[in-house]
Amino acid sequence: MFYHGGHKKVSELSKQVFDSFTPEEKIQRFASGYSIPKKYTKEESFQHLRAKMAVQRKPEKQSRRIIYYWAAAASVLLIISFVSVFAVFAPTKVLTANGEHTAFDLPDGSEVFLNAGSKIKYAERSFKQKRVLKLQGEAFFLVQKGSPFLIKTSRGTVEILGTSLNVFSRDNRFEVSCLTGKVKVSSNGHSEIITPGERTALENGTLVKYSGEPVDNMATWRFGVYHFVQTPLISIFDELERQFDVKIYGTGFENRLFTGNFSNQKLNEILDTICLPMGLAYEIKDGNKVRIYKKTE
């Protein structure tokens, strides 16, 4: 036998056996051994899909009409003033306000998912030739294969040698997680290469590498899921300020650490989860201010 049943296991095929087959048998049996070339591994495809799933798409018809209006408006503007031609050379900026996420494609087809309160700048015209962008805040990238892809932040530079990763750069914190492929991170003249499941963070001025984190736990903000492990309450409140566009202030949470998960919950549910075990209480004022204080029995 050439192949057994459904399984594509080849038993040694001799010339004698092959010659004994009719042409139809040769075709049928040989064709069962084919496999199909793929652009990505199944895991990579799933990562890509999950990233897209997190972003609600607008109904197509509506957006198409808007594009026509914009196109009309844009052409009128171009005719009236050629000063605007210079605007083309200005870097493109994409911003998210607090409480807002966005997703967009770069000129080379790479995809960016921008977390709340973040900013990306790049040169629209030359991006395809030179893939460089500046990031403030946090973003997840699905990078198309091709020339080196550089992400510059105030604390360090990320060079992508693969396909998907998360970059966090706010205040003093700089952290990069790799989901697929390979990433090179440089800061202060030191560099680290990280592979899937690894992340590197800037600590006291040097990059420290961590491994063993499940890829599924990384960059979960895209799905509204947050994991905190021994994280200062101050940074958790910072994150909540960005996600819900509120101000959080008060006392009793300095130098304290929290471990826990949140997924697509309301602000008061999350605050309950944090405050209760920490012996804290909160009150929400004017819908957008949160005062935290020590619970006194």
Residues forming contacts to other proteins in the complex (CB under 8 A) are: 6, 8-10, 12-15, 18, 23-24, 26-28, 30-40, 42, 45-46, 48-49, 52-53, 57
Pairing of strands 149-152, 131-142: parallel
Nearest to other proteins of 40, 249 (CB atom): 40
- Report residue 68 as tokens: 């026509």
- How far is Cα 247 from Cα 146, in angstroms, rounded to an integer? 42
Nearest to other proteins of 32, 191 (CB atom): 32
Nearest to other proteins of 57, 266 (CB atom): 57
Nearest to other proteins of 33, 146 (CB atom): 33
- How far is Cα 159 from Cα 176, in angstroms, rounded to an integer? 11
Nearest to other proteins of 93, 145 (CB atom): 145
CB of 245 to other proteins, least distance (A): 26
Note the Cα 137 to chain centre separation in Å. Answer: 12
- How far is Cα 182 from Cα 5, in angstroms, rounded to an integer? 39
Nearest to other proteins of 28, 75 (CB atom): 28
Task: Read off the DSSP letter of residue 131.
Answer: E
Pairing of strands 206-210, 183-187: unpaired
Contact 185, 202 (CB under 8 A): no
CB of 22 to other proteins, least distance (A): 9
Return the SS3 of 9: strand
Contact 186, 172 (CB under 8 A): no
CB-side neighbour CA atoms (13 Å) of 188: 10
CB of 27 to other proteins, least distance (A): 5
Longest Cα–Cα distance in the chain: 90
CB of 142 to other proteins, least distance (A): 11
Return the SS3 of 239: helix
CB of 163 to other proteins, least distance (A): 12
Nearest to other proteins of 9, 256 (CB atom): 9
Nearest to other proteins of 23, 189 (CB atom): 23
- Quickly list DSSP for 98-142: TT--EEEE-TTS-EEEEPTT-EEEE-TTTTTTSEEEEEEEEEEEE
Instruction: Match 């499941």 to its residue by tokens.
Output: 197
- How far is Cα 199 from Cα 98, in angstroms, rounded to an integer? 25
CB of 287 to other proteins, least distance (A): 30
CB of 7 to other proteins, least distance (A): 9
CB of 248 to other proteins, least distance (A): 30
